[in-house]
Amino acid sequence: MNEEKKNYTFFEVIARIIPIQFQSAPFNCILENLLAVIHGLSFSLTVVATQHLFDTIAKAAVNEAGFQDCLVSLLLLSGVTFGQQILNGVHNFHGTGILFPKSMGKLTVLLHRKLKSIDPAQFENTDFLDDLNKAREGIRAIPLFCMILYLCISFYGVYFLSIGVYLFTLKPMLLITLLLAFIPAILAQTIQVRVFTRLEEQSAPLRRENEYYQKTICDREYFKETRILGAFSFFNQLFTGTMELLTCKIWKAEMKTALLKLMLNITTFAGMGASAYLLFTATMNGEITIGMFAAVFAALGQIFAIMDEIVGKHVSSMNKDIGKVNNFLHLLDMHERTGLDGIPDFTKGVAAHGISYTYPGREKPAVKNLSLNLAEGETIAIVGENGAGKSTLVRLLTGIYRPLKGRVTIGGLDTGEIAPSSLYKGISGVFQKFQRYKMTLEENVAISGSPTKAGSHQAESALREAGFEKGKIRMDDMLSPEFGGIDLSGGQWQRIAIARGLYRVNGFIVLDEPTSAIDPIEETRIYKQFQRLAEGKCAVVVTHRLGSAKLADRIVVLDSGEIVDMGTHDELLSRPGKYADMWVAQAQWYEREEEKLVR
Ligand code: ATP
């Protein structure tokens, strides 16, 4: 199930992410580069204006120029410097205030779209969850990476090219010395790329673990249990342990790069000294004017400061982020679950033909060589002990998972061939681990809506069908104290989940034991109601409570992923077996329950 990951080189990363970033904000990408080019040119223009000013002053000293010439040169330099400051502000604002958030938003949407097409079975795979965690880090890294790239090419590139031409015309050796000082810095950065890619690879699983422990300590849903059961210190210890490991890894990587930076600073210092010496001898020999000396000497500091900024800050930030960008690209490269279009025809029912499924990392199959036919208008109940494979079978029958062996057809469509979006169109379900959306009551029901069902009336009637007592709760009440709303009881939440399942237009509906927080009597009532609503549809009910299973047309008894018995309630009771044993164990319970229901 794990896909081979291509490790992109620096240039391959650039070739992949520039089009992605460009598509996310084309106009802003062009504007960003345009601003960078003008900004870069303004720096070189400052050097020329400085030279002009000093030459004019030197001429004025020997009466070859007047006060007015000096004033014009001074105004020229001031104008260029002022324009450069304005450009600096506009460029920074556009990059960090507009392009960065815009790209991040679009990349997040791109990731969400990709996740929608990835096989849901991948979410059971811890390697995939690690990759997802790493890819999310990449969302922030990509716009930053691209902006630095634009800065390096369009701003620093233009600045160095123009100043390089200027220096070359003054003294070619000056340019060569500057370039030589750059080489060790580039080598140091290549090593840094490796260090940070490895760091990212190693820290993603640790970070995921660490975030989870933090959740168990801070999140509302864990809060009560961790405090009452005294699990706080246990989780805190785990949190601290993973945090220490993470910090240690980061510390080691930072240490290596700090040493590299030290070497880099020494070479930069040597390069600057050599350039200053060359400049001085050229002026003394009369090869360049005083104005040129002053302009280039002032620019030297800036050139080295910019080089240091590029290598020490920008390239090192790109190096740190390249691992994260690579991880984002790995996720985009992941195989998508696609397929043909189709419309399920539920007169053909739902069928499993010799299907098997084994979870990633497991040896024993959760479902083994299983065949089952569900006709239109039929309700089957799936029963079995914990871990028998009931939920897995439901995921296979609804097309969420594709069987590793055999085939499942939903309304005549093979789940192995048809696109999930076509399959899910006619299916509705309520699952064991349903969600409590931090939204209004109406939204909690209507998110499963389809174009034919809309509005609060339908949501209200679905709630009624699910036995939800609204009382004083309004449809627009927010169901989350965190968002200033109210909370509900476990049973009420389960009824909302059932209403959500009923609200969706469907030809095949599944109830995967969503009623565990509802008492057995109420559960049987809900299932009776469900049976009426499921009339004419294909329906599957998973339950541990045989009083509810009894209502189904047929009961399938699962054990270790295989069907060990099948029939109506009476047929199964008439013979010795797992079902009869389970019924005896629960019988007393239902005898009392039936009495109450009659009353
Ligand atoms: P229960 O009644 O407790 O909900 P079930 O009958 O629905 O159980 P399944 O959840 O389908 O059983 O699990 C069947 C087998 O597959 C079990 O051995 C379980 O440990 C294993 N299993 C379920 N989910 C996963 C998973 N995500 N990864 C690995 N193994 C899994």
Q: Is residue 54 part of a domain?
A: yes
User: Given phi > 0 = left and psi -120 to 50 = alpha, else beta, which region is 438?
Assistant: beta
Answer whether 388 contacts ligand 1 (Cβ < 6 A).
yes
Nearest of 267, 350, 361 to residue 537 by alpha carbon: 350
208 inside domain: yes
291 in any annotated domain: yes
Q: What is the pLDDT of residues 377-416, one digit of tens each?
A: 899 999 998 899 998 999 999 998 999 999 999 999 999 9
Return the percentage of the chain with pLDDT > 70, whole number: 92
The answer to the question of residue 145 being in a domain is yes
Question: Does any domain span residue 139?
Answer: yes
Kindly give, in sequence order, each residue whose CB lies less than 8 Å from that of residue 555, ignoring residues fewer than 6 positions away: 380, 381, 382, 383, 549, 566, 567, 568, 569, 572, 579
CB contact at 8 A, 309 and 303: no
Domain count, the chain: 1
The confidence score (pLDDT) of residue 450 equals 57
How many other C-beta atoms are found inside a 10 Å radius of the C-beta of residue 77?
20
What's the gap in Å between 496 CA and the centre of ligand 1? 25
Determine the distance separating the centroid of ligand 1 and the alpha carbon of 510, expressed in angstroms. Answer: 17
Report, as ranges of residue numbers, the positions in the chain whose pLDDT lies below 70.
1-4, 181-182, 184-186, 188-190, 193, 224, 311-312, 450-456, 514-518, 588-599
Tell me, using a 6 A CB cutoff, whether residue 141 lines ligand 1: no
Query: Is the Cβ–Cβ distance between 307 and 272 less than 8 Å?
Result: no
- Torsions phi, psi of 122, nearest 5? -65, -25
- Probe target for ligand 1 pocket from 125, 363, 390, with the most ligand atoms within 8 Å of CB: 390
| Domain contains 436 | no
For the chain, what percentages of helix, strand and coil (3-state, to nearest 5) are there? Answer: 65, 10, 25
Of 501, 541, 509, nearest to 426 (Cα)? 509
Residue 370's nearest CA partner among 409, 416, 406 is: 406
Residue 112 CB burial class (10 angstroms; 0-12, 13-18, ≥19) = exposed
Instruction: Tell me the β-bridge partners of 566.
Output: 556
Cα separation, 191 vs 320, whole angstroms: 11
Residue 557 pLDDT: 94
pLDDT at 81: 92
The closest of 299, 345, 286 to 51, measured between CA atoms, is 299
Residue 460 included in any domain? no
Q: Which helix (H) or strand (E) holds 249?
A: helix 232-284
Residue 435 confidence (pLDDT): 83
pLDDT for residue 599: 42
Q: Is 433 in the pocket of ligand 1 (CB under 6 A)?
A: no
3-state secondary structure of 566: strand
**Amino acid present at 62:** V
> Phi and psi dihedrals of 371, rounded to 5?
-125, 140
Q: Is 362 in the pocket of ligand 1 (CB under 6 A)?
A: yes
529 falls within a domain: no
Residue 397: the pLDDT is 94
Q: Are 120 and 401 in contact (CB under 8 A)?
A: yes
The answer to whether the pTM exceeds 0.85 is no
The alpha carbon of 396 and the centre of ligand 1 are apart by a number of angstroms equal to: 13
For residue range 48-107, what is the model confidence (pLDDT) as tens digits? 898 899 889 888 888 888 889 999 999 999 999 999 999 999 999 999 999 999 999 999
DSSP-assigned states of every residue in 474-486: -TT-B--GGGT--
Q: Which of 123, 124, 126, 391 to mutate to test the pocket of ligand 1 (most atoms within 8 A of CB)?
A: 391
Residue 137 sits in a domain of what CATH number? 1.20.1560.10
pLDDT at 309: 79
Task: Output the pLDDT for position 224.
Answer: 67
- Among 383, 392, 558, say which to mutate for ligand 1: greatest number of ligand atoms within 8 Å of CB: 392
The secondary structure element, H or E, covering residue 525 is helix 520-533
Supply the range of the domain harboring residue 39.
Answer: 10-332
pLDDT of residue 590: 58
Q: What digits encode the pLDDT tens for the residues 323-372?
A: 888 888 988 888 888 888 888 898 999 999 999 999 888 899 999 999 99
Supply the pLDDT for residue 189: 65
